[in-house]
Amino acid sequence: MIIPMTKTLETELLLSEEELTKKSKMKHEGAGLLILGIGVLAMGILNHLLLHILYESDIIWIAVTVCCVLLGIVLSGFGGKLINKIGASVAEMTAKDSDCSAEEILEFYRECRQSNALLLSLTSQPSKEKDSMKVGFLTKNWLRLPDHFYNGVMRISDVAVIWYEETALPGYDPGVFVVKSNGKMLYVKCKSDIGTEFVEAVTGRNTKCINARCFLFEDNDYNAFQNPQMAANIYKSQWH
């Protein structure tokens, strides 16, 4: 459903600029690899000391030990390096997955705080605990699809095709499909009333986008689901 943004929703569901740009060390990832490496190394040592009797050949026994030890050393080494490595910020990760720049992601979040911004929710009462990563936003110039926290941010002008599919397509349940101007297709599983409302809201802000899976262009039939790149090219040829 579509909900006008309020200060309460803004506080609960939007990241601040500080949270978006903050970078931190990759301690958890590094510690995980380090622990895994130590475990594999211990398995190699255990194999060499106690499990010789299980092997029919000394060559296989030695090979397993050597492989475990080497893999353990490599994983432990990478883990140790990652612990002190600085990871990407949320803005940078979102920019990479959404084909935008980090500055554009910050612009999107700033627009989400404007009075004309809309919250796109798959539930009637979105909460910080359950839905902060799942809600979408529609602003004057930007869209973030629900359930696509990192890869669903795009300019409204980059929405080439959007439609709600009532019947299940191969590999998909009913939901909203979006083809971006670069040919990439995204999907949001949702009920008919919610999906139809989403499509109407987006096409209301980008009246030039194609709003059907199958459409006619220059006396030729096209299917945006089967050939999203062609649909995107037609959109760009007409309006860009």
Q: Between 91 and 23, name the one with better pLDDT.
A: 91
First to last CA, the chain: 30
State the chain's mean pLDDT as an integer: 88
Q: What is the pTM of this model?
A: 0.72
Residue 111's pLDDT is 95
173: pLDDT strictly greater than 90: yes
Q: What six digits make up the tokens of 13?
A: 């569901």
Please check the confidence at residue 77 and state whether its pLDDT lies above 90.
Answer: no
Kind and range of the H or E run holding 62: helix 58-83
Residue 121, helix vs strand vs coil: coil
Q: Who contacts 140 (Cβ-Cβ below 8 Å, separation ≥6)?
A: 111, 114, 116, 117, 156, 205
pLDDT digits (tens, 9 = 90+) for 143-157: 999 999 999 999 999
If you average pLDDT over residues 42-53, what whole number do you get?
85
